[in-house]
Structure 1
């Protein structure tokens, strides 16, 4: 098994926490790994949010495996989590799996432009809190016979598809960022745009979403 040497125990702990949160939403989650030099990008898709989550991990030394100097593979998130050794700051690369549809359509690496109008972090967290409260209130008001999965999904889609301020970023992207631990603490946030993609960048990870939605890529909406 190829072993990745992470920069330190903190990087290993953050990677493990990210994988745990993904598995909370999908016990069979897969992640796509891309490593080059001393950077590892881990891509995942929590199904409840219809977004791509990206966690950047620092490596202690440039990735190298024989003659290969880059890594690009889709693996089981659960198996990757099991391989993380926080004390040794290492992670083993599990056997590749057949990637889900989203893994074949990733955001571009370059060409991103800053988009103005992103509210402050406290305001973003307030939007998520208000959305959660509204969802709970509206669904509790439904008659028992009307509280179907389809109706709950409809209410959730209406709330989380709203946009942030005057930007095109859907609130579900902010909800995903908070749920995955990307909005914790301080640090500068930025909204970036490239082609059909928008990306909410935080010090702890990024959330990317296509303006047209990922459903067009054969990914179901939940």
Structure 2
């Protein structure tokens, strides 16, 4: 099965998302859901260990409509990028080639370690609950990353690391809030928060994320992507 992407820029977007997902879990998976002209890419930032399930979501536009739902290993996607690079080797990019649609082959291999992919968050029915300043999210992400690194040195068992991550990222993002801190981690590591801050005296401006809820799910959104979280584990 192939998905037709609009241009090289979109391919780069997919590659970046996969690369960031591999930084979180090199042996992880990505779920590709194509519905008409829209491609939704899901990857897990936190799952297992008895903690929350936190997913990163990036939505792109396809060059032609498609219907697909595949959960494949991240490593298999990286192999597809390598093949594309070999096919394009020696070709000098031009404005015409950069804007030309190209096929992305979806690996036929199904990931067997992605229990989080068994439940899809709702596509509609979301209500706006408020906004969270991105500096608050960045601070929470850094603190949690440091705590996990200190508590899980090199050589720690996978089960122990999973339990520690579940503990750290399952804590409330804000005091008295049911939203898990894992949303900050996912937003940071997948690049949804950006790196900047508003000018002094300008207020938060665009440096905020919106927080939404639907049933048991939470969604944190920025112009760069979305984070979906459910506090009780799915797998």
Check 1:5–1:153 CA distance in 2 against 1; reply closer, same or farther (3 A cut).
Answer: closer
Structure 2 unpaired stretches of 5+: 86-97, 197-205
Is 1:160 the counterpart of 2:143 in the alignment? no
The runs of 5 or more residues in structure 1 that have no matched partner are: 64-69
- Residue of structure 2 in register with 1:67 after alignment: none
Q: What's the CA shift for 1:135?
A: 5.2
Distance 1:13-1:164 versus aligned 2 partners, 3 A rule: same
Q: Distance in 2 between matches of 1:51 and 1:96?
A: 24
Q: Distance in 2 between matches of 1:7 and 1:167?
A: 40
Shift of 1:136: 5.6
CA RMSD of aligned residues (A): 3.0
Equivalent in 90, 95, 110 of residue 97 of structure 1? 110
Range with bigger deviation, 189-198 or 21-30: 21-30
SS in 2 for 1:41: strand
Question: Paired residue for 1:17?
Answer: 16
Q: Residue 41 of structure 1 aligns with which residue?
A: 40
Residue 194 of structure 1: how far off its partner (Å): 0.7
The yes-or-no answer on 1:62 pairing with 2:80 is no
Kept in 2, the 8 Å contact 1:29–1:76? The answer is yes
Structure 1 residue 39 displacement after superposition: 0.7
CA gap 1:23/1:131 in 2 versus in 1, 3 angstroms: closer
Displacement of 1:7 in angstroms is 2.7
The residue number in structure 1 matching 2:216 is 196
8 Å CA contact retained: 1:12, 1:90:
no
Q: What is the correspondence of 1:1-222 to structure 2 with a 5 Å cutoff? A: 2-47=1-46, 50-63=53-66, 70-84=67-81, 85=84, 89-97=102-110, 99=112, 100-116=114-130, 118-134=131-147, 139=151, 156-165=165-174, 166-185=176-195, 189-212=209-232, 214=233, 217=234, 219=235
Distance 2:70 2:156 in 1: 38
Compute the displacement of 1:199 (Å): 1.2
Task: Report how many aligned residue pairs link the two structures.
Answer: 201
Residue in 2 that maps onto 1:66: none
1:95-120 deviation line (CA, Å, top 9, x unaligned): 0415532211110111111112x321
- The 2-side partners of 1:77 and 1:154 are apart by 23
TM-superposition CA deviations, 1:146-197 (whole Å, max 9, x none): x965776666544432222353211122112101212115755211111111
